[in-house]
Structure 1
Amino acid sequence: MRLALHGESEAFGEIFQRHADRVYHHCFRRLGSWSAAEDATSLVFLETWRRRTDAIPAAGSLLPWLLGVANNVTRNLHRTARRYDTALYRMSAAPLTTPDHSDDVAGRIDDERRLAPVLRELRTLPRPDQDVIALVLMSGLTYAEAAVALGVPVGTVRSRLSRARKRIALPHLLSEES
Structure 2
Amino acid sequence: MRSRIRAGDTEAFGELFDGHADAVRRHAVWSGSDPSLADDVVSLTFLEAWRIRESLRPDGDSLRPWLLGIATNVLRNRRRAARRHREALRRLPARDTVPDFADEVVGRMHDADQVAAAVAALRALRRADREVFLLCVWSQLDYAAAAEALGVPVGTVRSRLSRARTRLRALAEQEMARTRKIPVEQGEYR
The normalised TM-score by structure 1 is 0.78
Q: Distance in 2 between matches of 1:120 and 1:64?
A: 25
Please, which moves more after superposition, 87-96 or 49-58? 87-96
Contact 1:58 1:64 survives alignment (8 Å): no
Alpha carbons of 1:68 and 1:57: their partners in 2 closer, same or farther (altered >3 Å)?
farther
In structure 1, the residue matched to 2:145 is: 145
1:166-177 alignment to 2 at 5 Å?
166-169=166-169
Q: Secondary structure at the match of 1:123?
A: helix
Residue 32 of structure 1: CA displacement? 3.7
Instruction: Assess if the C-alpha contact under 8 Å between 1:29 and 1:115 holds in 2.
Output: no
The answer as to whether partners of 1:57 and 1:64 remain within 8 angstroms in 2 is no
- Work out whether residues 48 and 66 of structure 1, in 8 Å CA contact, stay in contact via their aligned partners in 2: yes
Report the CA distance shift for 1:95/1:88 in structure 2 as closer, same or farther (over 3 A).
farther
User: Is residue 28 from structure 1 mapped to residue 18 from structure 2 by the alignment?
Assistant: no
Task: Tell me the alpha carbon deviations over residues 119-154 of structure 1, each in whole angstroms, 9 at most, x when there is no partner.
Answer: 322233322211100100121111111111011222
Query: Partners in 2 of 1:116 and 1:79 — Cα distance?
Result: 22
Deviation sequence 1:46-98 (CA, Å, 0-9, x none): 1101111222478521101110111111111111112222223333355998x
Distance 1:145 1:11, change over 3 A: same
Going from structure 1 to structure 2, the CA distance change for 1:44 and 1:24 (only over 3 Å counts) comes to same
Q: Is the 8 A contact 1:5 1:12 kept in 2?
A: no
CA 95–53 in structure 1, closer or farther in 2 if over 3 Å, else same = farther
Counterpart contact for 2:32–2:123, Cα < 8 Å: no
Structure 1 148/43 Cα, relative in aligned 2: closer, same or farther at 3 Å? same
Amino acid paired to 2:48: E
Aligned to 2:177: none
Q: Aligned ranges for residues 101-112 of structure 1 at < 5 Å?
A: none
Deviates more, 1:86-95 or 1:38-47: 86-95
Structure having the higher Rg: 2
Measured at CA, do residues 89 and 112 of structure 1 come closer, stay the same or move farther in structure 2, by a change above 3 Å? farther
Gaps spanning 5+ residues in structure 2: where? 173-190
Q: 1:63 is aligned with what amino acid?
A: R
Q: CA deviation at 1:26?
A: 0.5
Hey, what's the Cα distance between the residues in 1 that align with 2:110 and 2:37?
A: 15
Deviation digits for residues 4-61 of structure 1, max 9, x if unmatched? 1211112111101110010011011113411211111111001101111222478521
Q: Is the 8 A contact 2:31 2:131 kept in 1?
A: no
Superposition RMSD in Å:
2.9
